[in-house]
């Protein structure tokens, strides 16, 4: 069952792709894989608790720790105070995973320890974006789970302590937003605020991926400052888009000028797209939908090349870098939520191909040369492919995605499991390991793999997952206005005062309609942006009778010969 059941156009995915035969993935096989993932989680978690807790992250080869909260984004340890003992980052990141695995006893123990010991009154310079998605998101999500009676916490043992901690952290974020543009600094000192001579360079993700966690904090506390700060930054960022509805990757938050104009769907911008759409689901603001709709069509038009997505200049739309990055693997999962299953499946299969070719997914792969990037050959246990696999299985019930999950699980156990936990891969050509286990391995990688084989946590619940995998409930009380019920049709005629026009499934916010594959009769979904031509024979008298191409999302035009097609080169 999909997690977003309240949206008609997402619910209909279950109708479009009915459950097929489970092949060798019968209930016994699913249970076997679930238990395999459970063992992975606890192997990592118990090693962290033994060798690294209460510090931030585990170094599995040396069985020691690193205090990464103060070095996220390559900050050196000398910036940390001598008595800094970490913020138990991996423990915070693991909280919702413990609930999903059904270990409410350990969840309660962890919550009570954090309630009594965690403090943010430390002289540590942290990355605002990373601290927001990992720590604030983890605390807010855990608070919501702790107040859920179905999690069986001991009655009276929890008195909103995690929310108190989250609000304390949120208040420490606010000075970062006190800027001429409203765009926040990328770095902030938890004790002293913005430091003198702090860098003004930040990223699109860093400015535009704060709204879920800070918005949820405002809804929980009744203090609008957090959501207002994140929303102001997001709107300012959107106002800086080009005429093509594209954004760059890095910018100066003080002047509002772009530094890097080349952009894609990977590092530096990825979660910006994700949060536009998920914020619309969580808070119901139509502004979020309009921004996402425009941005998504621009991505499909200027970045997509067949199943791949290259980078392009935001000003011209011209391709700049032809490369696959591991962070791009989140995109098919986002497309599932949009309803663009055909496009999601096509891209996902290419990522699976690269995974199988190397055994894991390399950080960067040069598409134009069909070779690894010479220096970025590592795999830091990233979750994005597992995440998209989970979403695609939920949408299609195709057992092939479970087979992909099995491949991922087997690879992780074969190449990254060590006696002290799970280690990152330094070089995918040699499978040499590196002494680091990122907290997101427990927050996301293991979580999405577990949910792939056992989604019982999601039954009768409505959640979205943040970019760090922390579940947030979709509540009517948080909605600015309740979602409308849309007609389940791929396109229809929508009348306004001036004219009648055809609309795509995406513009109507419904699931794409079915099309019949002439080869085997299998039912497939149209692209979410597709608008058919007015006539089935594609003849036309004017451009208004031509639709939108399903592959490139580009507007078709009427030729002098009277046929619709992609005649204009943009």
List, by residue number, the catalytic residues.
130, 270, 363, 384
Stretch (H or E) spanning 385: helix 384-396
Q: Looking at the DSSP assignment, which residues form a beta bridge with residue 188?
A: 126
Residues 147/215, Cβ–Cβ less than 8 Å:
no
The three-class DSSP label of residue 304 is strand
Would you say 136 and 214 are in contact if contact means Cβ atoms under 8 Å apart? yes
Residue 452, SS3 per DSSP: helix
Residues with Cβ within 8 Å of 163's Cβ and at least 6 positions away in sequence, in order, are: 139, 140, 143, 220, 221
467 is in an annotated binding site: yes
Distances (CA, A) of 537 to 342, 393, 556: 23, 35, 14
- The three-state secondary structure class of 389 is helix
Task: Tell me how far the alpha carbon of residue 102 is from its chain's centroid.
Answer: 24
Is the dihedral angle over the CA atoms 52, 144, 211, 13 positive or is it negative?
positive
- Cis bond upstream, residue 54 (ω within 30): yes
Alpha-carbon span 130 to 209, nearest angstrom: 10
Radius of gyration of the chain (CA): 23
Token couple for 77: 């340890």
CB 245 within 8 A of CB 303: no
Which alpha helices (DSSP H) does 200-327 contain, by range? 204-208, 211-221, 225-239, 270-283, 286-302
User: Dihedral angle at the C-alpha atoms of 341, 346, 351, 356, nearest 10 degrees?
Assistant: 120
Q: How many CB atoms lie within 10 A of CB 497?
A: 4
Q: What are phi and psi of 488, to 5 degrees?
A: -75, 80
Whether residue 43 contacts residue 417, with contact meaning beta carbons closer than 8 Å, is answered with yes
CA dist 399 and 36 (Å) reads 18
- Would the CA dihedral through 273, 275, 280, 285 be positive or negative? negative
> What's the DSSP call for residue 358?
H
513: region left, alpha or beta (phi > 0 left; psi from -120 to 50 alpha): beta
CA–CA distance, 428 with 329 (Å, rounded to integer): 17
**Beta-sheet pairing, 64-66 with 514-516:** unpaired
Binding site, by residue number, is 467
Binding site for Ca(2+), by residue number, is 467
């Amino acid at each position: 069952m999909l997690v977003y059941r309240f949206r008609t156009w997402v619910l209909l995915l279950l109708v479009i792709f009915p459950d097929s035969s489970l092949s060798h993935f019968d209930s016994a096989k699913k249970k076997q894989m679930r238990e395999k993932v459970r063992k992975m989680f606890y192997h990592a978690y118990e090693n962290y608790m033994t060798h690294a807790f209460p510090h931030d992250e585990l170094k599995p080869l040396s069985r020691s720790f690193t205090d990464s909260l103060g070095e996220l984004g390559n900050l050196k340890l000398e910036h940390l105070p001598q008595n800094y003992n970490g913020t138990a980052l991996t423990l915070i990141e693991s909280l919702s995973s413990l609930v999903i695995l059904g270990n409410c006893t350990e969840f309660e123990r962890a919550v009570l320890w954090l309630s009594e010991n965690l403090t943010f009154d430390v002289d540590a310079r942290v990355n605002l974006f990373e601290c927001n998605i990992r720590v604030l998101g983890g605390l807010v999500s855990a608070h919501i789970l702790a107040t859920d009676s179905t999690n069986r916490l001991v009655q009276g043992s929890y008195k909103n302590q995690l929310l108190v901690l989250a609000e304390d952290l949120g208040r420490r974020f606010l000075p970062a937003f006190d800027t001429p543009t409203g765009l926040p600094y990328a770095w902030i000192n938890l004790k002293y605020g913005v430091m003198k001579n702090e860098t003004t360079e930040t990223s699109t993700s860093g400015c535009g991926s704060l709204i879920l966690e800070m918005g949820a904090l405002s809804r929980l506390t009744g203090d609008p400052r957090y959501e207002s700060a994140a929303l102001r930054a997001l709107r300012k960022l959107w106002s800086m888009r080009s005429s093509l509805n594209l954004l760059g990757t890095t910018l100066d938050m003080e002047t509002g000028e772009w530094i890097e104009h080349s952009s894609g769907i990977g590092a530096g911008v990825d979660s910006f797209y994700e949060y536009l759409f998920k914020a619309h689901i969580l808070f119901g603001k139509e502004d979020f939908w309009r921004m996402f709709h425009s941005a998504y069509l621009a991505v499909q038009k200027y970045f997509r090349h067949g199943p791949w997505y290259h980078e392009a200049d935001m000003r011209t739309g011209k391709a700049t870098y032809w490369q696959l990055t591991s962070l791009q693997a989140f995109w098919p999962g986002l497309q599932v939520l949009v309803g663009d299953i055909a496009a999601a499946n096509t891209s996902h299969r290419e990522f699976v191909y690269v995974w199988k070719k190397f055994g894991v997914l390399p950080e960067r792969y040069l598409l134009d040369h069909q070779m690894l990037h010479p220096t970025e050959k590592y795999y830091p246990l990233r979750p994005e492919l597992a995440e998209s696999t989970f979403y695609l299985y939920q949408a299609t019930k195709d057992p092939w995605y479970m087979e992909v999950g099995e491949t991922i699980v087997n690879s992780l156990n074969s190449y990254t499991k060590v006696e002290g936990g799970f280690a990152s891969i330094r070089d995918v050509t040699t499978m040499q390991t590196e002494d680091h286990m990122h907290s997101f391995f427990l927050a996301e990688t293991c979580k999405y793999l577990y949910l792939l084989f056992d989604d019982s946590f999601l039954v009768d619940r409505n959640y979205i997952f943040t970019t760090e995998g922390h579940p947030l409930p979709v509540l009517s009380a948080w909605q600015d206005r309740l979602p409308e019920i849309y007609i389940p049709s791929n396109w229809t005629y929508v009348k306004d005062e001036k004219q009648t026009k055809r609309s795509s499934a995406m513009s109507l916010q419904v699931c794409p309609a079915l099309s019949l594959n002439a080869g085997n009769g299998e039912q497939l979904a149209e692209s979410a942006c597709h608008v058919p031509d007015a006539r089935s024979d594609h003849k036309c008298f004017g451009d208004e009778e031509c639709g939108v191409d399903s592959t490139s999302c580009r507007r078709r035009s009427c030729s002098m010969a009277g046929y619709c097609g992609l005649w204009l080169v943009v």
